[in-house]
Amino acid sequence: MELPDKRGRFEEYGGRFAPEVLMPALEKLEKAFNEYWKNTGFRQELEYYLKEFAGRPTPLYYAKNLSEKADGARIYLKREDLVHGGAHKLNNTLGQALLARNMGKKRIIAETGAGQHGVATAIAASALGMECEVYMGTEDIERQKLNVFRMELMGGKVIPVSSGSCTLKDAINEAMRDWLTNVETTYYLIGSIVGPHPYPMIVREMQRVIGRETRKQFLEKEGSLPDAVVACVGGGSNAIGIFYEFLQDNVELIGVEAGGRGIETGEHGATLCAGTDGVLHGTYSKLLQDEYGQIKTSYSISAGLDYPGVGPELSYLLRKGRIRVTPVRDKEALEAFKLLSRSEGIIPALESSHAVYHAVKMAEDMGRDQTIIVNLSGRGDKDVFTVAKALGVKL
């Protein structure tokens, strides 16, 4: 059976843990999505924007120099870093913004931590001529000035949130409150395969384009399927996007999480590796919590992997044994960041660098007749200041 089921469950994971007053809106959204997703006109319009505006299909590039360094399996890179905006995030925001417009909504709201999802939402809203307001904690606004300015340049309005810890979780609460008040006119655009049903399903469907292209491109180039596919996991959208088309195949699927300063230090974002079951942001999944169920703060050098939750579908696939997960630490990600930049002339996002590190390690122990695909989820231009600081380089 296709999952999620009617209750939004991936067996025990997923579901719809939301306030009673939001249930009608979530049901309406589910119904609208199911209708439009089957509608050829809608799919063609989305394909138009993905091709003409976002730059799809992205290449599947054989990283010859990197492969030679690993001296083992051949490594291919799915170049989501070349999507407009610099990451896979636009696949989802374009799709949902188009859905919102078709549902007759004029206004899109989102919440953002580091600002990357906010920027991708502002891009989509601007392209489709919609209003866009992004909730962001004042702490994050201060840390991410460049992304705030980017959003504003594209007509997005950033709404500062100064409650609680003034970060992402407080911004999520405010966005929820806004949606409750303005549900008739407003679409709430979630950025990963998290949140209450139907969001994990919607975002997965929007990101599956990555895997569909990858499978076809790889078959054309190699005439067979890869041995392994590797992707980094924050909320899990780029991972499920590339994994999904390979679920039925004999292909190893590996999710790489933020090991931060090491799992044993407690300073990490490795939810699948080290988390336990519970409810966060409307869904039942693995999460980082203490023995009283209080959410722990996550940590990673890469903002996109710094999240104490994870998509319910990945928790389900892990329990089933269909995917494998592993942590990669800050230091190791930095090493891969430098390695890929130097060997291939591609500066990867720090998030993607986690996946690159693990792929190279795997490749070293494999044969030349074997192949690995890495989902290069984003480009690293946004990270150069962080990397310079970590390397002790003064700019």
Q: Which residues are catalytic?
A: 89, 111, 377
Residue nearer to ligand PLP on the CB measure, 183 or 307: 307
State how far Cα 40 lies from the chain centre.
Answer: 26
Q: Which of 237, 300, 315, 326 binds ligand PLP (CB under 6 A)?
A: 237
- Beta-carbon neighbour count of residue 167 at 10 Å? 18
Per CB under 6 A, does 326 bind ligand PLP? no
Per CB under 6 A, does 232 bind ligand PLP? yes
Q: Which of 358, 360, 378, 383 binds ligand PLP (CB under 6 A)?
A: 378
User: What are 361's two structure tokens?
Assistant: 């390690």
List the one residue out of 67, 66, 168 whose CA is nearest residue 117.
168
Helix crossing, 116-127 with 145-153: angle to 10°? 10
SS3 state at 267 = coil
CB of 186 to ligand PLP, least distance (A): 23
Q: Which of 192, 285, 326, 371 binds ligand PLP (CB under 6 A)?
A: 192
Q: Which of 32, 183, 349, 372 binds ligand PLP (CB under 6 A)?
A: 349
Q: Near ligand PLP by CB under 6 A, which window of 213-221, 243-251, 262-270, 348-356?
A: 348-356
Residue whose Cβ sits closest to ligand PLP? 378
Q: Which of 170, 267, 351, 383 binds ligand PLP (CB under 6 A)?
A: 351
Q: Backbone phi, then psi, for 388, in 5-degree steps?
A: -60, -45
Per CB under 6 A, does 234 bind ligand PLP? yes
Torsion of CA 147, 268, 273, 6, to 10 degrees: -40
CB of 378 to ligand PLP, least distance (A): 2
Q: Is beta strand 9-10 parallel, antiparallel or unpaired with respect to 13-14? A: antiparallel
Q: Backbone phi, then psi, for 166, in 5-degree steps?
A: 60, 35
Please list, residue by residue across 92-102, b when 16 or more beta carbons sit within 10 angstroms of its beta carbon and e when fewer do. bbbbbbbbbbe
Residue nearer to ligand PLP on the CB measure, 123 or 183: 123
Q: Backbone phi, then psi, for 300, in 5-degree steps?
A: -160, 150
Please list, residue by residue across 140-158, b when 16 or more beta carbons sit within 10 angstroms of its beta carbon and e when fewer do. bbebbeebbebbeebebeb
User: What are 85's two structure tokens?
Assistant: 């905006």
What residues form DSSP beta bridges with 157? Answer: 133
CB of 149 to ligand PLP, least distance (A): 18
Residues 113-132 that bind ligand PLP (CB under 6 A): 116
Q: Near ligand PLP by CB under 6 A, which window of 10-18, 175-183, 230-238, 331-339?
A: 230-238
CB of 368 to ligand PLP, least distance (A): 29
Per CB under 6 A, does 275 bind ligand PLP? no
Q: Which of 89, 101, 105, 286 binds ligand PLP (CB under 6 A)?
A: 89
Please list, residue by residue across 55-84, b when 16 or more beta carbons sit within 10 angstroms of its beta carbon and e when fewer do. ebbbebbebeebbebbebbbbbbbbbbbbb
Per CB under 6 A, does 200 bind ligand PLP? no
Q: Can you list the positions of beta strands (E) in 26-117?
A: 60-62, 74-79, 107-111
Q: Near ligand PLP by CB under 6 A, which window of 154-162, 246-254, 344-352, 362-370?
A: 344-352
Q: Near ligand PLP by CB under 6 A, which window of 52-60, 66-74, 229-237, 317-325?
A: 229-237
Residues 302-321 that bind ligand PLP (CB under 6 A): 304
Per CB under 6 A, does 210 bind ligand PLP? no
Residue nearer to ligand PLP on the CB measure, 14 or 72: 14
| Size, binding site for ligand PLP by CB under 6 A | 18
Residues in the site for ligand PLP, rule: CB under 6 A? 87, 89, 116, 192, 232-239, 304, 349, 351-352, 377-378
